[in-house]
Amino acid sequence: MYFENGRALIVEGGAMRGIFASGVLDAFLAEQFQPYDFAIGVSAGASNLLGYLSNAPKRSYNVITELATSKTFYNPRRFLQGGDLVDIEWLWEAAGEQYPIDKSTLLSNIPLWATVTNVDTGHADYYRINADNMKNAMIATAALPIAYKSPPCFSGGCYTDGGVADSIPVKEAYRRGARDITVILSHPLSYHMNPAKHPWMMKKMLFRYPGIADAMIHRSEHYNAALDFIRNPPADTTVKVLAPPEGFDIKRLTMNKTHLDKGYQMGIEAGQAHMRNLQGLHGLDDENCHFCI
């Protein structure tokens, strides 16, 4: 599907760092702010977009702070005994029971794509969410390699976390015709991903999935290339960025609710500031705001 001169919303993943994006999107929902033609989410970013596009404020916040902090979801002892470090399928089922999605609202809204990484090729695939693939695609996009031992399989392929191959799918949005792209990141703007320290270890741990091992080894290159695109977009494209402030200290597996609440509030404030900036209330321009409006 191509959107000529379209407006896209891209939401990065990052596990518990997704609490920032949940705050941003809840701020948008409070003002019924949804000026986009399509959206692409990665891992926790896709989950956040489910709440946003189904008009369910605080759903993502509740899933992160109440369910993702549970020992049923995150269990290091289970992992050491040969099980999954994180139980993505349990999280999906529990979230659906406790915070059900209004599927009619979601599926009648703008198109949503979830990014997954193909186990065989190590490349990103993009599944448009529909009633038939929703569960499989949403589990796959968040199925962290190693932490979730058995890659989900559907539609003729097996997949792992979309962030492995394409953490910030801005180029995919551009390929689909978007020329006004809004990106919600899960790291501060100063972040730069370092190369994998021990490629040999990655290959050993993922010897059954060489495509994924290769993607993990080269992940920093793809990630930083996406940041370069954001900072230096094509001449015909505008990129707007919302990123956590430099004091954002949420890690991938932060479980402390006080820290998570702080990160959520940072997202609320960033979302509110973004909408004010777009209205010109701060008098910002290219010189004093660069791309971060």
Specify the pLDDT at position 1.
87
For the chain, which residues make up each domain, given as ranges?
Answer: 6-279
Q: Is 43 part of the annotated catalytic residue set?
A: yes
Specify the pLDDT at position 71.
93
The one catalytic residue among 22, 26, 37, 43: 43
- Pairing between β-strand 157-161 and β-strand 153-154 as defined by DSSP bridges: antiparallel
Specify the pLDDT at position 293.
45
Assign 125 to helix, strand or coil. strand
Q: Is 47 part of the annotated catalytic residue set?
A: no
What's phi and psi for 134, nearest 5 deg?
A: -55, -55
Q: Which two three-digit tokens encode residue 218?
A: 């080269």
List the one residue out of 131, 118, 195 whose CA is nearest residue 164. Answer: 118
Tens-digit pLDDT string for the chain (293 aa)? 899 999 999 999 999 999 999 999 999 999 999 999 999 999 999 999 999 999 999 999 999 999 999 999 999 999 898 898 999 999 999 999 999 999 999 999 999 999 999 999 999 999 999 999 999 999 999 998 888 878 889 988 999 999 999 999 999 999 999 999 999 999 998 899 998 877 777 777 777 878 788 888 889 999 999 999 999 999 999 999 999 999 899 999 999 999 999 999 999 999 999 999 888 654 444 434 444 44
Query: DSSP E strands: which ranges in the chain?
Result: 6-11, 38-42, 112-118, 124-128, 153-154, 157-161, 178-184, 238-242
| Homologous superfamily (CATH) for 6-279 | Cytosolic phospholipase A2 catalytic domain (3.40.1090.10)
DSSP 50-110: HHHHTT-TTHHHHIIIIITTSTTTB-HHHHHTTS-SB-HHHHHHHHHHHS---HHHHHTSS
Contact indicator for 99, 61 with CB cutoff of 8 Å? no
The one catalytic residue among 26, 37, 161, 166: 161
Q: Which two three-digit tokens encode residue 211?
A: 């495509």
Specify the pLDDT at position 96.
96
Query: Bridge partners of 125?
Result: 116
